[in-house]
Amino acid sequence: MFGLDGRIDLANLALILVLSAAIAAIWSMPLASLAASAIAVIAFNFAFVPPRGAFAVDLHQHALLLVTMLTVSWIVTLLVARLRWHTAQATAQALRSDQLREFAEALRMADEPVAQASILRDAVRRLSGAEPTLLLSSPSVNTDEASAIHLLGSVAPDESSGLRLCLKEGRPMGPGTGRHEEQLSWYLPMRGASGAFGAALVRRATGASGELRNHVQVLCDQLGAALERSDALRSAAAAREQAQGHALRNTLLTAISHDHRTPLATILGAASALHDQDERLSLAQRRRLAATIVDEATQLSRLTDNTLQLARLGQVGVALQRDWESVEEMVGTVLRRVRQRGPQHRVKARVEAGLPLLRCDAVLMVQLLDNLVDNALKHGIGDTPVEVMARRAGHSVLIAVQDRGPGVPAAQRRRIFDTFQRGDTDAVAEGGDDRPRPGAGVGLALCKAIARVHGGELCLRARSNGGSSFEVTLPVEECPEGTSREGDEGAPP
């Protein structure tokens, strides 16, 4: 400025001073730049404004210049300061919303409430610089209803009661909240739509602002919403399970009341005839009645087995007696059982050689195949044989029970595995000499349930030349160790 002195006039020199004040305002604190511009104006007055070297001012000429200069400098300083404040606000806002987004993301990834809560703890620790304590009261935290309250972090007794009060009232407490202002820490509820699901104790560092509290409150509310959501999911799952349980129980009750009554009625009829009409019956009649009782009781026994097994498989966490089982053996067992029930039945087996062992419950698998064969025999026509076929199919073993009966109408194929579907029994009755037998409903539903608990599937396929093929596919697992076949000269293992 001193270099330019004399070459340009005073007003232009003053503009340079305003410019430097504006630059100072950009770089330094508002108060400092305000003071700096005041000092600069006084110094300018001293150095350049005539009379030079004195603070005296010619009121008419230069006072206006100096006042304008000072005012403009200050205005610039204040404007810049305001701009900087807004920028800082926006940056902080952006940071917070980033944090919120990350927090929401982390909450979504963690599906377990305690894990979600520890994410909140980390976030609050970063924000407040102190270890927070969280209290969760969501039933999904603890399945045990009595101890549904879960505490994360250390807590003093009065802090603990503060957390509980905050949880109960669902409103924040502590400095700046208007409630319990005398407290040193903030108690912030984790609010969901239907109430508080927890509370956070945030020990504040000195100088922590209300904004920090608002931000932490938003985080807490996010966790509250997440806890509420997982609670809702859990109760929905429980309700679904209960509904399934009800459905199963209704199914079983219907099975017992309907399917079990028919053979019972027959048994009672035959037995009471034997009892009451004893001597009036011929020997042949008596034998026929006794045979009826044996047949129907056998049928009833199968029905009971099926119904009980279906009830057992419907339970949660049913334990299977799994072992390495041979398909050939299971098929062989079924053939023997069928033969024991009636030597006239024609069942053939075709089991592919070298099938892998299956990891399954043999009792259940035999029950499955037995039911399928029994069903095929009931619905087959005349004496066409029922075939049990087993072969490898990719990573599974397929076991099919095939008949040459009238088949199942396409409309019923999908529903035949529902518990009370048993085909158009009247049509079958006309074709066969036997009356339709009840029980296929429970039987097929059980077959499907057995296939499923083994990780397999049961489906019905219509055969191209008539008849049905019930096909079970079961996954093949790796057998523990191959036992090499013992050579004729080999020593025993």
Partner 1 sequence: MSLGVLLVEDDRELRTTLRDALQVEGYRVVSSASLADARAVMFNALAQGGLDIVLIDPGLPDGDGASLLADLRRQHGTPVIVISARPGEDHKVRLLDEGADDYLVKPFSLAELLARMRVALRHRGTTVHPAIVRYDRADLAVDLETRRVRRAGAEVHLTPTEYRLLARLVRHAGQVVTHRQLLVDVWGPEYTEHTHYLRLYMAQLRAKLEAEPADPRLLLTEPGVGYRLVEPED
Binding site for partner 1 (CB under 8 A): 294, 297, 301, 308-309, 312, 321, 323-326, 328-333, 335-336, 349-351, 357, 361-363, 365-366, 479-480, 483, 485-488, 490-493
Contacts 24+ apart (CB under 8 A), 202-207: 202/124, 202/128, 202/130, 202/132, 203/128, 203/130, 203/131, 203/132, 204/128, 204/130, 204/174, 204/175, 205/128, 205/129, 205/130
21 or 334: CB nearest partner 1: 334
- Write out the H or E segment, with its range, that includes residue 152: strand 150-152
418 or 477: CB nearest partner 1: 477
108 or 348: CB nearest partner 1: 348
Q: Is the sign of the CA dihedral 182, 213, 117, 236 positive or negative?
A: positive
359 or 437: CB nearest partner 1: 359
82 or 350: CB nearest partner 1: 350
The SS3 of residue 349 is: strand
The alpha helices in 129-209, defined as continuous H runs, are 157-169
Q: For residues 45 and 39, what is the distance between their CA atoms, to the nearest angstrom?
A: 10
Name the minimum Å distance from CB 192 to partner 1.
45
Q: For residues 275 and 286, what is the distance between their CA atoms, to the nearest angstrom?
A: 10
Angle value at C-alpha 217, between 212 and 223, nearest 5 degrees: 135
Name the minimum Å distance from CB 481 to partner 1.
8
Name the minimum Å distance from CB 487 to partner 1.
7
468 token code pair: 């049905």
Name the minimum Å distance from CB 324 to partner 1.
4
Name the minimum Å distance from CB 480 to partner 1.
7
- Fill in the amino acid letter for 472: V
- Best CA proximity match to 451, nearest among 358, 380, 376, 386: 358
122 or 486: CB nearest partner 1: 486
60 or 485: CB nearest partner 1: 485
Name the minimum Å distance from CB 280 to partner 1.
24
Helices and strands, number each (H, E), in the chain: 13, 11
Name the minimum Å distance from CB 126 to partner 1.
53
The alpha helices in 28-61, defined as continuous H runs, are 30-47
